Chain A
Amino acid sequence: MKKLIDILPLIIFAILIVVLFSFLSNKNNQLETVLIDDTFPKFSLSSLEDDSRLLTQADISELPALINVWATWCIACKVEHPFLMKLKTESILPIYGLNYKDNREKALELLKRDGNPFEFSIFDFEGRLAIDLGVYGAPETFFIDRNGVIRERHVGVVDDKIWEEKFAKYLYE
């Protein structure tokens, strides 16, 4: 018979592991909202165009739609911009912008100069919605289907090729 004291460290540590594991599974439930096949996260942020207008998830009303994360400091977004304009002019689907950690004046100026492909842009200065979405950086694009569920995401520039490969199929579902 081994002395209890020799087994004690093992027991204590095993309990610790189990406890930590249970914390982890608690947290998992909360983090899953950022993943594919879940509804778009709730938010309440001002509009880029009009800082007194409060936008929520209900304002993303025309579906299916793209959510595009952009900013004036993001050079790749400038590369992506013509393609978004093309989607807009050909009325393929509505695009909602998520203006990410940006300067409001500069952002509005850019949209005025280069054209505005977005129905509206959410002004996310602190990156709060971006955190909920699990955004890596700009540009990043999410596809929301007609039930408001996130179906696909793409990190980096979306162009014709990416559109065909990743997004187009969801449009005709």
Chain B
Amino acid sequence: MTPEIGHILLIVFLVLSFAGGFLPLTSVYLNNQTFEIPIKKLAFSLFLLIFLSFLSLVYSFLIDDFSVAYVSQNSNTNLPFYYKFAATWGAHEGSLLLWILAMNAWLISFMFLTKCSDKNFTNAVFSISCQVMFSFCLFTLLTSNPFERILPIPPLNGADLNPSLQDIAFTIHPPLLYFGYSGLMIPFAIAVAAMLFNVDTKEWATYSRPWTLLSCSFLTLGIALGSWWAYYELGWGGWWFWDPVENAAFVPWLLSVALFHSLIASQSRSVFGKWSILLSIFAFATSLLGTFLVRSGILTSVHAFALDPERGVFILGILGFFVIGSLLIYSLKDFKKDEVKPYQLSSKEFGFLLNNLLLVILAVSILFGTIFPLIYEAATNGKQISVGAPYFEIILFPFALALGLLQGIALYLSWGVTSSFNFLQRLTLESVSLFGIILLVLFILFDNLYLSSFATIFLACWIVAGTLQVSKKRNLNYWNFLKKRLAVTFAHVGMAILVLGVGVVTSYSIEKELILTPGDEFEFGDQKITFQSIEDTLGPNYFSKSANIIFEDEKDISSVVTEKRTYTPSGQLTTEAGIVTEPFQDLYISMGDNLEADIWSFKVQIKPFIRWIWLGALLIAIGSMLAGLNRIQRS
């Protein structure tokens, strides 16, 4: 019964969200009270419906109801209960349900936390959000119903959750990303509502800013977790692969970062009003586009979803409807001129403009690189090409450099015109000193300096010095000053730490393929590696060969286990890397093939500073989260 209840709740949700999508707007346009509905109550009921519907799917997973097709495809009696729970969003159908739930959670938070004086405006935001949720719900019910049954004779056991998803980071990575993606619905709805009701740039930017920041924070967390997962689960020791699906998340992230920066200027100075509207639309559009690319099966990637071309058409339809619709409003509307105070090249406004241009061009280039193989395939009648890391790295580097340099001076700039650039001297002095200290530390740690890492390390120092702004405020109460700017300090220093991590790890990493039998030793860098033994182990739903490895240097000895797992229900193989984490480096070993009886191949790597990448991302997420929550509190 439970799946049917969930199904019915979803249908009720569909009907109510349809009503919510049209009635409030109708009442505004006809100026007729009869269509007016209590939108807060409706929003709350919608949330309850989708929440219970989601719970009923969770329940079907927990009780192993394999008569539900989705459960039988993604679960198994031997799966530990927490993975059964997470399997709810482990594939396409269930993740859509979570997506709608997330959109609804954002909508409710917006309606209860952001106080708008203009009732029409709130009604419009609500209606547009309802329309988006309606389209997703329709999509779910028509093409991807998670409650479909296999009757009359259900399978006795399920096919199991994809083994590489059976991992703690990977169970929370999708929800965080979905919250990030779906959160971009709010700035989109606000932008469209602002166009419909001629809301002042200042005003709607104020409403939009916290929600953009929060979505961005979730996106950051989701992407970072995905990267961390790929690092220890895929067994290559890489942390970013320029996989189409990673790009599909990276592009909306870049646009959301651009958007909240441009919103700062819009809110404070009424500038970039139209630009911010376009960015809001495109940030949302790229998050839908990512969904489309992943789930229509037109791009191949490690994130394989069950492919169904019908779904692709549907998502494209949703994307087309909302984006073309809103751009149509944009192109037809007569924007009234905001009163803008003039600004010069040296102003903060111009800084934001430059930041936005760089971020947007970067986003477009990455998007282009992602879609180009498709264009090529179509143009050459089926010849395949892959655009890989070299293209993206060449593109990324100059933009990252320019953005980082800008980031260093950005906080010193003033609105209108920056009267003095004296800070440059101090800034240079501070960042060069920091640069020297870091080089010294690196030299002590690794006995080596690589020229190739100098640019990124200096950039990191430049950003840190620029963020802490010691030279600007050195006579005032410095700690109070930093505390007031806690959010931006977190986010910008986080970016510096990330840049530093990337710079060091790309230059200082070493790796080697080894062939060992139990008892063998190998000298690698300053480490002595011992392959102690190999054993068979048995997990709840897998069996594995696990190798015990010992890393030994002058100071300490640590032992790790690396495994090759075979998941019994599906027969799939996964590699579990063995990782020793030290403050400044990771010792990483992953098991390769069984060459002969007891002879195994291994890949061993030393990855200095790699943790700093995710630490940086975490700080960025905390920073934008703080900024978002702060803004909500203030409004």
**Could you list which residues of chain A lie within 8 angstroms of chain B, going by C-beta atoms?**
2, 6-7, 9-10, 13-14, 17, 19-24, 26-28, 31, 71, 73-76, 79, 100-103, 136-139, 155-157, 159, 161-162
Contacts and interface: CB of A to CB of B under 8 A. Distances in A.
A155 B377 CA distance: 34
A157 B153 contact: yes
A156 B150 contact: yes
B332 interface: yes
B477 to A, nearest CB: 47
B585 interface: no
6 contacts: A9-B281, A13-B324, A17-B320, A24-B309, A27-B298, A31-B297
A22 B378 contact: yes
B316 interface: yes
B290 to A, nearest CB: 12
A6 B330 contact: yes
Contact of A76 (B155, B374, B378): B155
Interface of B: 69, 72-73, 150, 152-159, 278, 281-282, 285, 292, 296-298, 307, 309, 312-313, 316, 319-320, 323-324, 327-328, 330-332, 374-375, 377-378, 568-572
Nearest to B285: A13
A157 B155 contact: yes
Given A9-B331, A26-B378, A137-B73, A17 B571 contact: no
B571 A156 contact: no
B2 to A, nearest CB: 20
A73 B569 contact: yes
Contacts of B150: 155-156
| Main SS class of interface, B | helix
Closest 10 CB pairs between A and B? A137-B159, A101-B571, A10-B327, A7-B331, A28-B309, A76-B156, A76-B155, A75-B157, A17-B320, A24-B312
A74 B571 CA distance: 10
Contact of A161 (B72, B153, B292, B330): B153
Contacts of A138: 159
Contact of B319 (A2, A17, A28, A103): A17
B384 to A, nearest CB: 13
Given A73-B568, A155-B150, A9 B278 contact: yes
A7 B330 CA distance: 8
Given A2-B332, A7-B331, A10-B327, A27 B278 contact: no
A73 to B, nearest CB: 5
A161 B313 CA distance: 36
A23 B297 contact: no
Given A9-B330, A103-B571, A155-B150, A75 B156 contact: yes
A79 B153 CA distance: 11
Contacts of B159: 136-138
Contacts of A23: 298, 374, 378
A8 to B, nearest CB: 8
Contact of B157 (A9, A76, A103): A76
Nearest to B304: A131
Contacts of A31: 297, 307, 309
A20 B292 contact: yes
Contacts of B155: 76, 137, 139, 155-157
Contacts of B152: 161
A45 to B, nearest CB: 15
B324 A102 contact: no
Nearest to B319: A17
B441 to A, nearest CB: 47
Contacts of A100: 571
A126 B511 CA distance: 29
A24 B298 contact: yes
A73 B156 CA distance: 12
Contacts of B332: 2
Nearest to B293: A20
A143 B72 CA distance: 23
A155 B282 CA distance: 41
A26 B569 CA distance: 34
Given A27-B312, A76-B157, 19 more contacts: A2-B331, A6-B330, A6-B331, A9-B327, A9-B331, A20-B292, A20-B316, A24-B316, A26-B377, A31-B307, A31-B309, A73-B570, A74-B569, A76-B155, A76-B156, A137-B73, A139-B155, A155-B69, A159-B153
A40 to B, nearest CB: 20
B324 A10 contact: yes
Contacts of A162: 153
B629 to A, nearest CB: 32
Contacts of B157: 74-76
A73 B324 CA distance: 49
Contacts of B377: 26
A100 B159 CA distance: 12
B338 to A, nearest CB: 15
Contacts of B281: 9
Contacts of B316: 17, 20-21, 24
Nearest to A7: B331
A20 B152 CA distance: 40
A103 B154 CA distance: 25
A75 B77 CA distance: 11
A139 B158 CA distance: 10
Given A9-B330, A9-B331, A13-B324, A24 B572 contact: no
A29 to B, nearest CB: 9
A147 to B, nearest CB: 26
Nearest to B569: A73
Pick the most buried of A28, A73, A138, A139: most chain B CB atoms within 10 A of its CB: A73
